[in-house]
Amino acid sequence: MGDKLAEKDFARLDEVLADLGSSKGTLIPVLQKAQDIFGYLPRDVLVHISRKTGVPLSQVFGVVTFYAQFHLEPRGRNIIRSCQGTACHVRGAKGILQEIASCLGLEGDAVTTPDLRFTLETVACIGCCGLAPVLMVNDETHGRLVPDKIKGILDQYK
Amino acid sequence: MEKLARAHVLVCGGTGCSSSGSKLIIPALKEKLEARSMGSEVKVVETGCHGLCEMGPLVIVYPEGVFYVRVKPEDVDEIVENHLVKGRVVERLLYKEPATLDTVPSYDEISFYRKQKRYALANCGHINPESLEEYIGADGYEGLGKALSMKPEEVVEEIKASGLRGRGGGGFPTGLKWQFTRSAVNDKKYVICNADEGDPGAFMDRSVLEGDPHRVLEGMAICGYAVGSDEGYIYCRAEYPLAIKRLRNAIAQAEETGLLGRDILGSGFNFTIHIKEGAGAFVCGEETALMASIEGRRGMPRPRPPFPANSGLWGKPTNINNVETFANVPSIMRDGASYFASQGTETSKGTKVFALTGKINNTGLAEVPMGITMREIIYDIGGGIPDGKKFKAVQIGGPSGGCLPEQLLDLSIDYESLIKAGAMMGSGGLVVMDETTCMVDVARYFLNFTQDESCGKCTPCREGTKRMLEILNRICEGKGTEEDIPLLESLAKSIKAGSLCALGQTAPNPVLSTLNFFRDEYEAHIKEHRCPAGACTALVGYVITEACRGCGLCKKVCPVDAISGEVKSVHAIDQETCIKCGACQAKCPFKAINKG
């Protein structure tokens, strides 16, 4: 997949590295920006960051796989975060998650639709418990969900 | 000078209200007011969270303090025409008490707010969080001014005298922590604000950051002055984009006006604040893990000592407190320690913010004096349990905490009493459960969470939580054995003893606490293969009763075609095919489908 990565994206990454790379403790912000640029963190990008910053690749990989925010695989254009926090759990979050998966036709361990329109994730709590059960699509929060509402919400995102 | 408005319309822009549609109300209001040429008479203000998220979007009209709930953009016309033009309150949008269904016209009379003492949340919902002027208008930065006129040791003493204890969970005396960092000798010290609010079911830090960001900055600056630090970090969850945006805005404003930066208020004291976005790891709420994460490494805890006060971020002395703790500091400095210390109980001073969620009428944030009873919080402030269901338990303290059953509802809440009852204050998340919540499933839920979030460093935590989860899964499926309960207890003991940080040390608490108070539910699952709450899908089945009119709706909605029957005659469910999704029960207009 690495061969499809655009030159201009690497140029943008180099700008980020020039901006942040020299000060201490910047590996995580660099990775966050790199993921904003590429959409995910392919191997070539990690190698590039490691070479430019001098942080060993093993350490970069260790950090990437430690935090839930970083992804080694391509992701959908729209990210759905279905909250499975306590409040959402007792108000039926499991049923919501099942409904989303069935609307998207996701089976087994699949989290991304083949057309890359959606990636479905769970999140432990988005701090919106008053409206449980809730989900986030990108930066928008939808609350007081019932399974019947799901399709209508997903249809808003192309 | 801006013209004084004759009325203010406050629209809640907290995350709760935004997602129920408050973002559409503000432009609609402004447009309507312009159309009526009232744009300069009436000021529309977007505020932070008011706490009563259940009823959002909230709109409050001052000077009267009229409180409108669940407002939709189409209601804007009526509010402007009737209330703002003719002075008539729009009755149908007023709040109704869930218990009596009486309408309540003004903010202060609503039972949700009446028993509260909003101290850390004083400004939340009342000022525009993006305006420094409004914060200063509400006596903001007065505490910092006062602190800078004192000696740093005196500031530490003041905080000690207030009795403030860490609001993030542990309850360590804040003044003492500051003193430790103050006495550490080094050329560089750091102040960190822990805004990695990860406990599922807690969202008070988010509301403070979104609704009153300057208060947190002021608290941190006072701390910096007291401990001798010139640099602070706020470690905030990336899941809180609005909080991060408001913090950035507030920092820029404070720097521009000389309230942060070099030579603050001409005192010679320098203090700058950076924001670090978390990357999604619950364990980073633990202080040593959090610092590792700021340093750009995997967020794994390390043994203490050395404590951060001696060797913290990049090996330098570091004082770390959570958002709510810092939010209490400016008012303590402004009003003096004695006012704060006059609230609460002997050992737990002041107020605490609780997040009320789960099976409760008024979900939202409530700030109450320590020492209040759980019954007052749940019934007087929270408005009781919806749909006439019976209270079963309240879970407090998140994945580290425990459950309190009915018989402990009159317990006075403070740090010590909760520990004694097998729970803990934690960050103050309260999740209320009713008779339809299965306590084994709740324990399993928390174990699933901690198991997932364990960083993997300590074997007892990494492997032990996994084994406990397997056992709980087994019990919920009706495949538990009599040896499972003692096995759970023994694993719990080893995990608590053998883990480095609080995540592992407290991970078994939800299991131990439910075993303590609801052992009969575990036994029903194991011995009778029955889930008393009817929540564990593997142990329940759906049956259609004689009340069935044969409308066929259930048949249509069943995803696996498990329901058969002729029109107008009683239908039946084939238990072999049924996947127990509950769709039929939800759809049945005659309540003819029972779980059993």
- Is residue A112 included in any domain, yes or no? yes
Looking at A66, A96, A113, the residue that finishes a domain is A66
pLDDT at residue A27 in the model: 93
Whether A4 has a pLDDT exceeding 70, the answer reads no
* Domain carrying residue A105: 78-155
Query: For residues A51 and A56, what is the distance between their CA atoms, to the nearest angstrom?
Result: 8
> Average of pLDDT values for B425-435?
92
CATH number belonging to the domain at B439-527, selected among 1.20.1440.230, 1.10.3720.10, 3.20.20.30, 1.10.10.10: 1.20.1440.230
- What band does B2 get if pLDDT is binned at 50, 70 and 90? low
Q: Got the DSSP string for B482-536? A: TTHHHHHHHHHHHHHHH-SSHHHHHTTHHHHHHHHH-HHHHHHHHHS---TTS--
Q: What part of B 253-312 touches A (C-beta under 8 Å)? A: 276-282, 293-300
Query: For residues B349 and B336, what is the distance between their CA atoms, to the nearest angstrom?
Result: 14
Residue B32's identity, in one-letter code, is K
Q: What part of B 444-503 touches A (C-beta under 8 Å)? A: 445-446, 449, 452-453, 455
Tell me the pLDDT tens digit for each residue of B33-56.
Answer: 999 999 889 999 999 888 888 888
> Average of pLDDT values for B162-173?
93
Q: Which residues of A touch B20 (CB under 8 A)?
A: 131, 143-144
Query: For residues A105 and A124, what is the distance between their CA atoms, to the nearest angstrom?
Result: 23
What b/e string do you get for B69-80 counting C-beta neighbours within 10 Å, with b at 16 or more?
bbbebebbeebb
User: What ipTM does this complex have?
Assistant: 0.84
- Look at residues B104, B118, B115 and name the one whose alpha carbon lies nearest to residue B377: B115
Query: For residues B312 and B289, what is the distance between their CA atoms, to the nearest angstrom?
Result: 11
CB atoms within 10 A of CB B355: 30
CA angle B15, B376, B441 (to 5 degrees): 65
Find the range with the poorest average confidence among B184-193, B314-323, B371-380, B573-582.
B573-582
Looking at A66, A90, A112, the residue that finishes a domain is A66
Domain ranges of chain B: 7-112, 132-341, 351-434, 439-527, 541-595
Do residues A103 and A59 both lie within one domain?
A: no
Fold of B351-434: Ubiquitin-like (UB roll) (3.10.20)
Whether A108 has a pLDDT exceeding 90, the answer reads no
Do residues A95 and A150 both lie within one domain?
A: yes
Query: For residues B283 and B198, what is the distance between their CA atoms, to the nearest angstrom?
Result: 8
Encoding tokens for residue B120? 């850390």
- Of residues B338 and A6, more confidence is placed in B338
Query: For residues B256 and B265, what is the distance between their CA atoms, to the nearest angstrom?
Result: 12
Do residues A15 and A56 both lie within one domain?
A: yes
Mean pLDDT across chain B:
93
Q: Got the DSSP string for B355-400? A: EEEES-SS-EEEEEETT-BHHIIIIIIS---GGGPPEEEEEESGGG
Do residues A94 and A127 both lie within one domain?
A: yes
Instruction: Confirm or reject contact between A56 and chain B (CB < 8 A).
Output: no
Do residues A100 and A40 both lie within one domain?
A: no
Q: Are B410 and B373 in contact (CB under 8 A)?
A: yes
- What band does B417 get if pLDDT is binned at 50, 70 and 90? very high
Whether B420 has a pLDDT exceeding 70, the answer reads yes
Q: Got the DSSP string for B533-550? A: TS--GGG--EEE-TT---
Looking at the DSSP assignment, which residues form a beta bridge with residue A112?
Answer: A119
Encoding tokens for residue A4? 């499809």
At residue B217, what are phi and psi to the nearest 5 degrees?
-60, -40
**What is the enclosing helix (H) or strand (E) of B62?**
strand B59-62
- Look at residues B469, B427, B431 and name the one whose alpha carbon lies nearest to residue A88: B431
> Average of pLDDT values for A78-91?
88
Query: How do strand B42-47 and strand B402-405 relate by DSSP bridges?
Result: unpaired
Do residues A55 and A94 both lie within one domain?
A: no
Tell me the pLDDT tens digit for each residue of B76-130.
Answer: 999 999 999 999 999 999 998 887 888 888 888 888 999 899 999 999 999 999 9
**Cβ contact B293–A95 (<8 Å):** no
At residue B410, what are phi and psi to the nearest 5 degrees?
-90, 10
- Is residue A125 included in any domain, yes or no? yes
Tell me the pLDDT tens digit for each residue of B222-237.
Answer: 999 999 999 999 999 9
- Look at residues B479, B476, B447, B586 and name the one whose alpha carbon lies nearest to residue B534: B476
Q: Domain holding A113: CATH number?
A: 3.40.30.10
Calculate what percentage of chain A has a pLDDT beyond 70.
96
Looking at A45, A66, A87, the residue that finishes a domain is A66
CA angle A151, B74, B46 (to 5 degrees): 90
As to burial, measured by CB atoms within 10 angstroms (0-12 exposed, 13-18 middle, 19+ buried), residue B295 is middle
Which of B277, B295, B431 is closest, CB to CB, to A90? Answer: B431
* CA B50 centroid distance within chain: 13
CB atoms within 10 A of CB B4: 8
Which of B15, B433, B583 is closest, CB to CB, to A128? Answer: B15
Q: What part of B 16-75 touches A (C-beta under 8 Å)? A: 16, 18-20, 53-54, 56
Query: For residues B109 and B67, what is the distance between their CA atoms, to the nearest angstrom?
Result: 10
- Is residue A102 included in any domain, yes or no? yes
Alpha helices in A54-121 (DSSP H): 57-66, 86-90, 93-104
Tell me the pLDDT tens digit for each residue of B263-313.
Answer: 999 999 999 999 999 988 999 999 999 999 999 999 999 999 999 999 999
Do residues A88 and A147 both lie within one domain?
A: yes
pLDDT at residue B472 in the model: 97
Tokens 């338990």 locate to B393
Region B541-595: CATH code: 3.30.70.20
Residues 6+ apart with CB under 8 A from A8: none
Whether A1 has a pLDDT exceeding 50, the answer reads no
pLDDT at residue B27 in the model: 94
CATH homologous superfamily of B132-341 equals: NADH-ubiquinone oxidoreductase 51kDa subunit (3.40.50.11540)
Calculate what percentage of chain B has a pLDDT beyond 90.
80
Q: Which residues of B touch A98 (CB under 8 A)?
A: 581
Domain total in chain A:
2
Q: Within chain B, how many helices (H) and strands (E) appear? A: 24, 19
Do residues A38 and A99 both lie within one domain?
A: no
CB atoms within 10 A of CB B189: 22
Q: Are B361 and B389 in contact (CB under 8 A)?
A: no
Which of B202, B238, B314 is closest, CB to CB, to A69? Answer: B238
Query: For residues B417 and B131, what is the distance between their CA atoms, to the nearest angstrom?
Result: 40
Do residues A148 and A87 both lie within one domain?
A: yes
CB atoms within 10 A of CB B274: 12
Q: Domain B7-112: state its class.
A: alpha beta
Which of A29, A86, A131 is closest, CB to CB, to B20? Answer: A131
> How many Cβ contacts (< 8 angstroms) between chains A and B?
140
- Is residue A90 included in any domain, yes or no? yes
As to burial, measured by CB atoms within 10 angstroms (0-12 exposed, 13-18 middle, 19+ buried), residue B383 is buried
Query: For residues A2 and A92, what is the distance between their CA atoms, to the nearest angstrom?
Result: 41
Residue B321's identity, in one-letter code, is N
Looking at the DSSP assignment, which residues form a beta bridge with residue B277?
Answer: B236
Q: What part of B 311-350 touches A (C-beta under 8 Å)? A: 314
Query: For residues B116 and B108, what is the distance between their CA atoms, to the nearest angstrom?
Result: 10
Tokens 């004083």 locate to B122
> Average of pLDDT values for B249-257?
97
Q: Which residues of A touch B510 (CB under 8 A)?
A: none
Q: Which residues of A touch B239 (CB under 8 A)?
A: 123, 126-127
Q: Are B385 and B452 in contact (CB under 8 A)?
A: no
The C-alpha of B358 sits at a distance from chain A's nearest C-alpha, in angstroms, of: 5
Instruction: Confirm or reject contact between A36 and chain B (CB < 8 A).
Output: no
Whether A2 has a pLDDT exceeding 50, the answer reads no
- What band does B560 get if pLDDT is binned at 50, 70 and 90? confident
Tokens 């929060």 locate to A141
Q: What is Dmax (Cα atoms) for chain B?
A: 86
- Is residue A73 included in any domain, yes or no? no
Q: Are B120 and B353 in contact (CB under 8 A)?
A: yes
Residues 6+ apart with CB under 8 A from B151: none
Do residues A82 and A62 both lie within one domain?
A: no
Residues 6+ apart with CB under 8 A from B402: B395, B396, B421, B422, B423, B424, B509, B510, B512, B513, B514, B516
DSSP state of B412: B
Tell me the pLDDT tens digit for each residue of B390-414.
Answer: 999 999 988 889 999 999 999 999 9
Do residues A58 and A88 both lie within one domain?
A: no
Do residues A62 and A87 both lie within one domain?
A: no
